[in-house]
Structure 1
C-alpha cells in the first residue's frame, strides 16, 4: 500500500521492512527470511488493529478522505447488475459529480445514484472532486421522479466534501436545487436507503441522503461543515481542525448514538481502503437487509415513516 496516513508512519516502517526482506529473498534463493518477515507481519497487524480501534474524530476524517477508499463508481460496478446510466438534468447540463441510473441489486430493480470523486487527476477534475453543481441535484430529482413513477426503491451512495460553492453554481440556484432535491427525497413514495461511504458534507450530502434509512461506514464522517471550515469560522484558525472534529460529533458512532443515522456498517481492519472488496460486500449486505425490511411497506407509510424520522431528529440524543 503506497498511501499511508500521517498517523500510520510507524506501521509503514514495519511493513516496509517486511517487504524489503521478501525482496532480498527473491533475489537470493539461499536466504530464508520468512520467519522474520512473518514476525514483522504480526507486529504490523497488531499495530494496525490498535490504531484503528482508537481512532480520534480527526483521524476518522483522514481515513474517510483516503484516496484509495472505494468510491461510488466502485460500489455500482461491483454490487449492481444491468446498470444503465442516465445523464443530464433536462435543463442545463450533465453534472459528472453525480452519477446514477437504473440497475438491479441482487436481481431487484432499483434506482441508484451517488457522488463520484474520481481516482486520478483527470477523473477528479471531470467529477469536480465529488462536489455537485445545481444540475447535479436536478439530475438527482429527475432520477427520483423516475423511481417514484415506476415504483423502484432508491439507493444513494454519499461521498462529498459538500456542494460546489463556485460563482456559476450560485448563479444557477445552488441552494434552491439542493432544497428541491431534499424535498423530493421527503416526498418519495418508494423506500429510500442512503449510505455515507466516505464524506457526508453539509447540504451537498443531505440533498440525496434524506432517506428512510441512513447508514454509515464505520470510518466515514457526516457533518454540517468540514472541521477545517468550522475551525476557520469559530477560531479563525484552520489548524484547530482537531478540536473542531471533536466538537462536531461527526463520526458514525456519535451519529448513531444521537439518532441521526440508523446503522453503522463495519469496515475491515485498517479501513475500506485496505480491503475495498470486503467493504463493498459489507455495504451490499447492509443494503439488501434494509430494502427487505421496507419491501412490504405501502407508499403512505413510507412517507409517514420518513416524516417521523426527520421531525424527531435529535430526540434520541437529548433523551440520552
Structure 2
C-alpha cells in the first residue's frame, strides 16, 4: 500500500497542477509595446505619434511664445514681439520676398548637401573596409576637419568668384566632412562576430559587405546626414552674409543695416522651421530603415 500511495502521489500532484488555473500567465505575457510603466496603454495619434509627446510639444511651443512675449515687454530696445514678427512675415510672403529668399537658400543647401553626402558615403565605406584607403585619406580628412568651413568662404570667393559655385562648394565641404566621418565610424564599429559568422556560412566579401556591413552602418550614416544638414544651413547663411544677392542670410544682412529686427526674426524662424522639417524627414527615414534596431 505504501508503494502504491507513493507511486500515485506524483500523478495526483500533476493532475492538480494541470487542472489548476494559470494564475501566473499574465506575468509571463510580454508587455505590449504601447504600454506604459504601470501597464496602462499609451494613446497614440493616427500618425503613430504618442499623445503625450504631442501635448508636450504644444506645451513647449506655448512656453516659448510666453517667454518671447515677456522679453518683448521687458524693455529691451527694439526687441519685437510675436505679433509684430508675424505681421512682418506675412508682408514678406505677400511681396514674394520671403519665398524667393527661401527658395534661393534651399536650392544652395540641397545642391551642396546632396553632393556632399553622395560622395561621403562611398568614401567612408572605402575607408572603413580597406585599411590602405584609410591610411591614405584619414590624415587629410582630419586636417580639413580642423579647418572650419566658414574660414574657407573668403578663399572660395577669391578663387571661384561671387556666383553660386563658392556657396555650393562650402556647403558641400561642411556636409561631406560630417557625413564621411560618421560613415567611416559605422563601418569600423560593425561587430566582428557578425562578419565572421557570415564568412563561416560561406558568404563572400561582397555579400558580407552588402548584407552585414551596410545595414549595420545605416544608423551611423543617417546620424551623420543629420549633423551635416545642420552644418549645411549654418554654412549657407554665413556664405550669403558675405557675398550674395538673394537668400535668407542676404536678407538678414540687409535688415541689419536698417535695424529691422522683425525682418531678421522672420529669416531666423524660416531657417529654423525649414531645417526642422528636413531633420524630421531624416529622422523618419532613420526609423523606417533601422526598424530592426532596439530603442529605448
TM above 0.5: no
Larger Rg: 2
The TM-score, its normalising length taken from structure 2, stands at 0.26
Indicate the structure whose relative CO is greater, using CA pairs within 8 Å and at least 6 residues apart: 2
Q: TM-score, normalised by structure 1?
A: 0.25
